Structure 1
Amino acid sequence: MDLTVGIDFGTSNSAVGLNVNGQPWLVEVEAGSKTLPTAVFFDARGKMHLGSAANKALIAGDEGRYMRALKSVLGTPLLREERLIGPKRQSLLDVIAKFLSELRTRTEDQIRQPISGVVSGRPVRFHSSNDAANDQALIDLTEAYTRAGFKHIDFLPEPEAAALAAQDLAAGEIGMVVDIGGGTSDFTVFRKDAGKADILASYGVRLGGTHLDRALSLDHVMPLFGAGTEVRRALAEGLLPVPATLFNDLATWQTIPFLYTKDTLRLVKDLQRHAVEPDKIDRLFEVIEAELGHDVAFAVEAGKIAANMGGQGVIELGLVEKGLTAALDQDAMDLSLARYKADLSEAVRETLTMAGIAPDAIGAVVYVGGTSLMSIVPNAVKTVLPNARAIQSEAFTAVVDGLAIAAGQKQYA
């Protein structure tokens, strides 16, 4: 008999789960781990490497194309644009379908049974205020699963899956899931009763860990590469700002690979000739020519994590220039991310309003997703729900646990 699995296809990490006797059982999707980075690397021969293998290939400096945050392009025109990836032209939709197909194959190899169905997690909203893009994103993800070989495809909002798996609430208690992933923030108010989750309201915004990384990169790293500097006009007097688009793309996980073109190199060379601060544009040229954009992004992410621990974070940029660093302490990070804290607080309030629930009715907040461990998240929630207790025990697996439980409840003809 063909099985149905639950798949948490995340912006940063992915996982697969099955329902075994009413309990979630997670697949070892790569050696020794039940989650894997949602990252791919196509080597020069076109072979695709997934997860940690993709990250290792990038770190080793192997020739090829690295991609991350693939989920963020769902619902956008970028998803279906064909580009040279490896030795052939393909779209990011093709890449996502191959990634999902590999998840299915790895699962089938472990359980030695064919898989025909999937209950996939999805954000409450892929795009905050664009209904057309939000609808298109679901169409895109459905197509990717179809291409990956799944015959029966269902979706469950990720925070609702986490609510289904929540264990530490008393019968009848009202809780809120705060699910902050790599690309979206989702909120669900639910009542726990007899092992089930009665969903009272769900709400979502397009805000996640990659947005925080981008803000920190733009504020603290991109100025070292020339952001905010000027160039001399070629045929007239006066100065012009260096194009901001270069730095916006370099600070955004999903657009980094598309900077590695001859056109971009020609543009940066021209900027070098006219730069008021040429040493900074020289660094930008090094990043583009040596394809170090993802290395810079990983350095920003590492600095963010260090600063979040309350110490002096340092963004190490020695791969670009020996000894180059950008300081990042908690106060500086909080200043850069202040607008996102306000957005999160407002999203909590909106979810309560949709549910018709007063703040003091929430007994517990279930924090889900790696970005929920960032201090700005509980700080934002506490401004609205100061008395609710925090549950963080299953931050990385709550969604896939709930999807696995839901998958066991599906029956197909």
Structure 2
Amino acid sequence: MAADSPASVLGLDFGTTNSVAAIARDGTSELVMLDGPAGPDAVFRSALCFWEDGKGVEIEAGPWAIAEYLDFPEGSRFLQSFKSVAAMASFDQATIFDRRYRFEDLGKLFLDRMTARSRGALDGKAPRVVVGRPVDYAGHRPDAALARQRYDAMFGALGAEVHYVYEPLGAAFSYAARLDEAATILVADFGGGTSDFSVVRIAEPGASRRCVPLGHAGVGIAGDRFDARIIDNLVMPLLGKGGSYRSFDKVLEIPGGYFADFSDWSRLALMRNRRTLAELEKLRRTALDPDAIGRMIAVIEEELGYRLYDAVGQVKRALSVSKTARFAFSGAGLSIEAEVTRAAFEEWIAPDVARIEAAVDRALAAANVEAAAIDRVFLTGGTSLIPRLRHLFTERFGASRIAIGDELTSIAHGLALVGAEEDIAAWSA
């Protein structure tokens, strides 16, 4: 890298829910502040909004996408959590206002809008870009090679030397900057789409190589899956799940695929297409409870996905600080108000927490490290704020070994520092 480069390294945490960028110069990493409707912020929502203005299709990203959607929801197409389809071979393209977009097309649009809000900080000045990637991608039977191909097409648009580093390793590098002693740490990164774990040996300050990765594991379960559990228990019974329909002289259970898509933020908006809506309308005419299917169609047609997401997010955040919370959502013929207890929520997510704990076991086994040998557990990512997950680690490692902080920005901060290392190949995934 040229010594006079104004930005040495760009660290980019492209997240399922939020994205963050940081730039490393002279051994320090600083977050990139991005303009938003409410003022500059380092955290940029990983969302896109499309709408027609009479001349063509307009596109916005991040908090600007949310603002455009809220201004005219019926005439917008709002996409969120689209990172979740990166490794899905079943996803080919999204049709929006009769235009087709591949994953990399959506990604390039997102990066372009993010760059436009960076006040020039992301305008191709960094000769090296370090992008975070999950240890295991989200989705059923995720195809890591396909995700890499799509990432290359997306991030190649930055016109720089691109490296990929496991997201929890970025967080480990960030956390190492806080430590003034040697330690073996477990980083637990809980995002929107995946939960990722890395065991890292951190040497004392001044060592030629401060951090050494020992082992990793991950699982495609995180905040979005917990959201789906809330929807499944509170919303789906009113949309026909578990119901039946008539086929000639038989009564059959309604296929579960529609409900699985509806409860997945990355796929809900994509249900607004002619084929799916035609199938749902046909199902409505034969359903034993046609009004329930009609409500599902209305939520999709009226583009209420973000409002539903917001209602779910509010109750989930409330349950992180209180034992009870009220879920409220109305629209498209639905009116739901329900009191949710933390105990009930934890029962809903229990199978997911079990799989997360199994991934922790795999990370320790891959590193050949016993739990007792872990000096610190660094919890990061927005989903790490859920009490059940925190309890999982305090129960296993003890409260004194748990470290938290910078839940949304530590990965990008650390990725930029990783990129400043001479031997970046040792960190690349």
* Matching of residue 13 in structure 1 with residue 24 in structure 2: no
- What secondary structure, in the 3-state scheme, does the structure 2 residue paired with 1:47 have? strand
Paired position in structure 2 for 1:276: 288
Q: CA deviation at 1:144?
A: 0.9
Paired position in structure 1 for 2:261: 249
Question: What do the CA deviations read for 1:107-161 (whole angstroms, capped 9, x no partner)?
Answer: 4714777334311111122258957x11221221112111x23231111111111
Please give the TM-score of this superposition, normalised by the length of structure 1: 0.91
Give the length in aligned residue pairs.
407
Alpha-carbon distance in 1 for matches of 2:88, 2:158: 23
Question: What do the CA deviations read for 1:259-311 (whole angstroms, capped 9, x no partner)?
Answer: 11233333333333333333323322321332223322332222222223223
TM-aligned CA distance change 1:113 to 1:336, over 3 Å: closer
Q: CA deviation at 1:168?
A: 4.2
Stretches of structure 2 lacking an aligned partner (at least 5 in a row): 425-429
Percent identical residues = 26
TM-aligned CA distance change 1:22 to 1:127, over 3 Å: same
Instruction: Say if 1:14 and 1:36, in contact at 8 Å, map to a contact too.
Output: yes
Superposed, 1:322-401 pairs within 5 Å as 323-386=335-398, 388-401=400-413
Alpha-carbon distance in 1 for matches of 2:303, 2:138: 29
**Does 117-126 or 258-267 show the bigger shift?**
258-267
Instruction: Say if 2:77 and 2:269, in contact at 8 Å, map to a contact too.
Output: yes
Alpha-carbon distance in 1 for matches of 2:258, 2:129: 39
Paired position in structure 2 for 1:214: 228
Letter in 2 for 1:119: V
Alpha-carbon distance in 1 for matches of 2:334, 2:280: 21
Instruction: Say if 2:311 and 2:328, in contact at 8 Å, map to a contact too.
Output: yes
Paired position in structure 1 for 2:306: 294
TM-aligned CA distance change 1:97 to 1:312, over 3 Å: same
Alpha-carbon distance in 1 for matches of 2:83, 2:412: 16
TM-aligned CA distance change 1:341 to 1:170, over 3 Å: farther
Q: CA deviation at 1:203?
A: 1.5
Paired position in structure 1 for 2:168: 159
Paired position in structure 1 for 2:49: 41
TM-aligned CA distance change 1:112 to 1:209, over 3 Å: closer
* Matching of residue 96 in structure 1 with residue 107 in structure 2: yes
TM-aligned CA distance change 1:229 to 1:145, over 3 Å: same
TM-aligned CA distance change 1:101 to 1:291, over 3 Å: closer
Q: Cα RMSD (Å) of the superposition? A: 2.4
Alpha-carbon distance in 1 for matches of 2:274, 2:126: 43
Instruction: Say if 2:115 and 2:122, in contact at 8 Å, map to a contact too.
Output: no
- What secondary structure, in the 3-state scheme, does the structure 2 residue paired with 1:313 have? strand
Instruction: Say if 1:344 and 1:381, in contact at 8 Å, map to a contact too.
Output: no
Alpha-carbon distance in 2 for matches of 1:112, 1:294: 30
TM-aligned CA distance change 1:398 to 1:383, over 3 Å: same
Instruction: Say if 2:268 and 2:300, in contact at 8 Å, map to a contact too.
Output: no
Letter in 2 for 1:201: G
Paired position in structure 1 for 2:427: none
* Matching of residue 226 in structure 1 with residue 240 in structure 2: yes
**Does 400-409 or 279-288 show the bigger shift?**
279-288
Paired position in structure 1 for 2:274: 262
Superposed, 1:6-155 pairs within 5 Å as 6-31=11-36, 32-44=40-52, 45-62=56-73, 63-79=75-91, 81-86=92-97, 88-107=99-118, 109-110=120-121, 114-126=125-137, 130=141, 133-146=143-156, 148-155=157-164
Alpha-carbon distance in 2 for matches of 1:330, 1:188: 29
Question: What do the CA deviations read for 1:328-356 (whole angstroms, capped 9, x no partner)?
Answer: 22111111100111112222222112212
Alpha-carbon distance in 2 for matches of 1:295, 1:313: 17
Instruction: Say if 1:115 and 1:150, in contact at 8 Å, map to a contact too.
Output: no
**Does 207-216 or 376-385 show the bigger shift?**
376-385
Instruction: Say if 2:381 and 2:408, in contact at 8 Å, map to a contact too.
Output: yes
Letter in 2 for 1:150: G
Letter in 1 for 2:290: P
- What secondary structure, in the 3-state scheme, does the structure 1 residue paired with 2:193 have? coil
Please give the TM-score of this superposition, normalised by the length of structure 2: 0.87
Q: CA deviation at 1:248?
A: 0.9
Stretches of structure 1 lacking an aligned partner (at least 5 in a row): none
